[in-house]
Amino acid sequence: MEFLTVYIREAHALDGTMPNDRPDSPIVEEPVTAEERKDVAKRCAGALDMSPMTMLIDDMKDSTCQAYAAFPDRLYLVGKDGKIAFAGARGPMGFNPDDLEDGVREALGMEPIKRASSERGFDRDRRGLGGRGGDRRGFGGRGGDRGGRGGDRGGSGGDGDGL
């Protein structure tokens, strides 16, 4: 099993439609080139200490983000057959790693962990494509996306890249 993060366009870029004004958030502009997006993605990976997880970078056309309806962020589990085994709700409100863990356990033939309903915050269909995703705290760049096709280490086609 391999866990990947795909860096997509920034939800809260300083020059975007919804800049983040929280004092603990990084200040970034929306990248306009693939190199700028890669630089911002590296900062994100370092600041969030995402090692040893591989981070892929969506192309500047946002192909992966669009293919997976990933904005502002979302959790997916892609099976060995290339089919989506779990699609979380869109973030930030729907971002729920516990749901992904349940999806992984189900894919492995294991029982889900019993959790109190208050741990989830709210109850939603965890299997639907209505999605749960989560915002990555303002890291991002000009015009990029956090997409990535399941298991495709080159990103989503186009000029996708990895760190």
Nearest residue to 100 (alpha-carbon basis) of 11, 19, 1: 1
Q: DSSP secondary structure string, 26-75?
A: ---PPPSSHHHHHHHHHHHHHHTT-TTSEEEE--TT-HHHHHHT-SS---
Per-residue pLDDT tens digits of the chain, which is 163 residues long: 889 999 998 877 777 777 777 777 777 888 899 999 999 999 888 888 888 889 999 999 999 999 999 998 899 999 989 999 999 999 888 889 999 999 999 999 999 899 886 555 444 443 333 333 333 333 333 233 333 333 333 334 344 566 6
β-pair type (54-57, 161-162): antiparallel
Enumerate the β-bridge partners of residue 6. Answer: 56
pLDDT at residue 119, as a whole number = 53
Give the model's pLDDT for residue 162. Answer: 64
Query: Which pLDDT does position 57 carry in this prediction?
Result: 96
* pTM score: 0.65
What pLDDT does 21 receive? 73
